[in-house]
Chain A
Amino acid sequence: MKSAAVLLAVLLAAGMARAQVSLDCHFAPGWEASGPARQYTAENLYDYKDGAADGYLSYGFARMSTIDCKSGADMLTIDVSEMNDADAAYGLFTANRDPRLPIAPIGMGGQIQPQSALFAKGKYYVEIVENADNPNADHSAVMQAFAAGIEQRLQGRETAPEALQWFPKENLDSIRLIPESVLGLKLLKRGYVARYKQGQAFVVMETTPASAAEVFKKLREHFDGAAPAQVADEAFLAKAPYLDGICVFRKGRFLAGYANLPDATQAAALSANLAARIP
């Protein structure tokens, strides 16, 4: 029994060791660490990020490794956050990326800017931020080098979450993972929202068809005058303040639909198309 416990402890320690990201600053010539790497968990992330820690925690944060690097007078900080899963990592990336700029092919997706770089790979979300004296300096090349170097050290998925492919691309502005209260509705816990030139589409993932049916029922009750519609397993149409014309449907364990359209029938037509794309 005792030896089994020791073995378990060793295995756990080995697992933890694998989970920790080895960080240094040797990703571009002339850069070196300006202090030791630091580790944070959900328990003490506030020590480092203050109130911004809430954003990380809401997406499903496990731990973070961070290090400050310097090259002459230039300084930058690398934060490698290990999230609970790859979707959470990509979700945090979608919350922080500039939706006006294209997504670069770094890991599952990234963005390089003159003084910052963001990307997600597997369950890791990475931020590299330069602390420059000159706010107009262009350090894109350094950012690119650091992002590429760190990406190589991280294991995990390099393709964006499958759910992103379900949203039609035409007139699409941006897609985000919302960690809680999709469309501002507490009932819709966690899901993707795609904003279009007109209206927005959403897909919420429940754990089982039964739990999705339960949420659907409550949601229909929330919109008192909801009218039934023929989309997927079950659906309703409504018109409501802030959501305008809305259609919500359930397909298996997914709750999805369109909102903020001039009328609910238009939302229903688009929802039928979305339903066909959801497996």
Chain B
Amino acid sequence: MSSNTSRRDFLSTGLSAGLALPVLGAASVIDPQSAKAAVPAKLDYRILGRTGLKVTTVGMGCMITSDPSVITRAADMGINYFDTARGYSHGNNERMVAAALGARRKDVIISTKSHAPNKEELQQHLEISLRELNTDYIDIWFLHGKGSPDEIADDMIEVQQKAKKEGKVRFTGVSTHGGQQQLLPWMAQKGVFDVVLTGYNFTMGVDMDQSIATAAKAGLGVVAMKVMAGGLRRLKPDDPAYKKLTQQGGMLAALKWVIKKPNIATTIPSITDMDQLDENLKAMSNPLSAGEEKILSAHLDAIRPLYCRMCGQCDGACQKGLPVADVLRFLTYADGYGQFALGRERFLELSAEHKAVRCGDCAACTVKCPHGVQVARRCARAQELFA
């Protein structure tokens, strides 16, 4: 299809120079001024840790984008960070990103990831990604979806470092959906990674903030994903709370909330259409307002009975000695971050005495959460789920 070429030609001769649209042939009855052109947005930049890369605070997650023109337009509008992965749509996503960004390759930062389970496949994935992305180098190459240091073998790090030395990869990192409290400090201490891509959103507690701060302080560039979905995943589209949150601009507020955090360099919300793109761009020009904070607070109130903020005020409060915050955290791995296996693994690491506790056996719970978490009910769910 030649559309990409024609788009590029158009962009280089028309839009980017602020000129009128090309004159139409037989269809010249159409007013060329009326077609909606991209209007450059106000952009906000941060430095991505030790990489020194200057990234827009709103990037683009391309995983569920179907039409490459949305990616092209995002780049035209000034977004400069684009994320894909070897495994997305069996490689089709990398090809689409390449087609969409081809002419602008040098102006943008492309990150991709490999879920390879061993060094041989990791090496092969790198070569395939380079080919499919139609590029000589990958800006940031992540090991995909790691939940703990145990999942990151030394020989995989060696493959990353070798690729860096060869110039095939500029910077390396790890993406993670769970286990950040353990993984991020480990990455900070390890000193061989440049970037971490982590789930992060307004529903998460201070423990996550601390992990991210540790990573950022060590020079890791922090990229946030699941900036909206993490907070909304538990809600179905027909849920009144979902409708309320989306209709009131909650999605944009959620994005702004993450951008406001100084330790986050950029974000990669999924964008499927031009309307979403325009909406997300607003996050860079209008900071989080008091009204938007209220929207998020209201949503937090709705999920307060479910989510522990790890404030530690319940330490020692359980009459049976249960480490309540830990149990709630394990449950959040499963319920909040979609990491059932990790949650169960951590739960099974509890002492035999603690694993045997059944909250349903207590007549009354001695733990009173100051934030309103229904401790007995949530711990009972963890026991039902993991024990």
Chain A residues packing against B (C-beta within 8 Å): 44, 46-47, 50-55, 58, 95-99, 116, 118, 131-136, 173, 176, 178-186, 193, 195-200, 222-227, 237-245, 259-260, 262-265, 268
Which chain A residue has the least Cβ–Cβ distance from B68?
Answer: A184
Structural contact, B34 and A225, CB atoms closer than 8 A: yes
| CB–CB B124/A135 < 8 A | yes
From known contacts A51-B177, A55-B64, A241-B37, infer whether A225 and B32 are also in contact, taking CB-CB under 8 Å. Answer: yes
Given contacts A225-B34, A238-B35, are A265 and B27 in contact (CB under 8 A)? yes
Separation of A135 and B127 alpha carbons in the complex (Å): 12
Evaluate contact between A200 and B226: CB separation under 8 angstroms.
no
A61 to B37, CA, bound (A): 36
Q: Which of B88-96, B152-160, B359-367, B373-381 contacts A (4 or more CB under 8 A)?
A: B88-96
Known: A51-B177, A242-B7, A245-B27. A96 touches B92 (CB 8 A): yes
- Size range of the interface on B? 35 or more
How far is the CB of A177 from the nearest CB of chain B, in Å?
9
B34 in contact with A244 (CB, 8 Å)? no
A-B contact pairs, 6 of them (CB 8 A): A54-B229, A58-B64, A173-B1, A184-B272, A223-B34, A225-B35
Partner-contacting stretch, out of B248-256, B296-304, B335-343 = B335-343
A225 with B92, Cβ < 8 A, contacts A242-B7, A260-B1 known: no
Q: Which chain A residues lie closer than 8 Å to B6 at the CB level?
A: 244, 260, 262
Which has the most chain B C-beta neighbours within 10 Å: A95, A186, A242? A242
* Contacting residue for B275 out of A44, A186, A264, CB 8 A: A186
A61 to B139 alpha-carbon distance, docked (Å): 34
- Smallest CB-CB separation from B177: which chain A residue? A50
Main SS at interface, chain B: loop
- In whole angstroms, what is the CA distance A44 to B337 when docked? 10
- Which of B18-26, B40-48, B102-110, B184-192 binds A? B18-26
Give chain A residues whose Cβ lies under 8 Å from the Cβ of B24. 239, 245, 263-264
B66 adjacent to A178 (CB under 8 Å): yes
- A223, B31: Cα distance in complex, Å: 10
Chain A residues with CB under 8 Å of B31's CB are 224-225
Partner of B90, one of A118, A173, A179: A118
Is B36 engaged at the interface, CB distance under 8 Å to the other chain? yes
A223-B64 CB under 8 A given contacts A50-B177, A263-B24, A264-B24: no
Instruction: Give min CB distance, A61 to chain B, whole Å.
Output: 13
| CB 8 Å contact bits of B56-75 with A (1 = contact, 0 = none) | 00000001101101101100
* Cα–Cα, bound, A13→B337 (Å): 30
- Residues in B with CB closer than 8 Å to A52 are 63, 87-88
Q: Shortest distance in angstroms between B68's beta carbon and chain A's nearest beta carbon?
A: 8
B276 interface residue, CB < 8 Å from A? yes
Q: Assess A53 versus B89: contact at CB under 8 Å? Given A183-B67, A198-B1.
A: no
Chain B, range 1-19, C-beta contacts under 8 Å to A: 1-3, 6-7, 10-11, 15
Q: Is the CB of B35 within 8 A of A223?
A: yes
**Does B30 have its Cβ within 8 Å of any Cβ on chain A?**
yes
Q: Are B145 and A181 in contact (CB under 8 A)?
A: no
B3 surroundings in chain A (CB, below 8 A): 198-200, 244, 259-260
A224 contacts B36, C-beta separation under 8 Å: yes
Chain A proximity mask over B68-88: 1 for CB below 8 Å, otherwise 0: 011011000000000000011
Q: In the bound complex, how far is the Cα of B10 from the Cα of A176, in angstroms?
A: 26
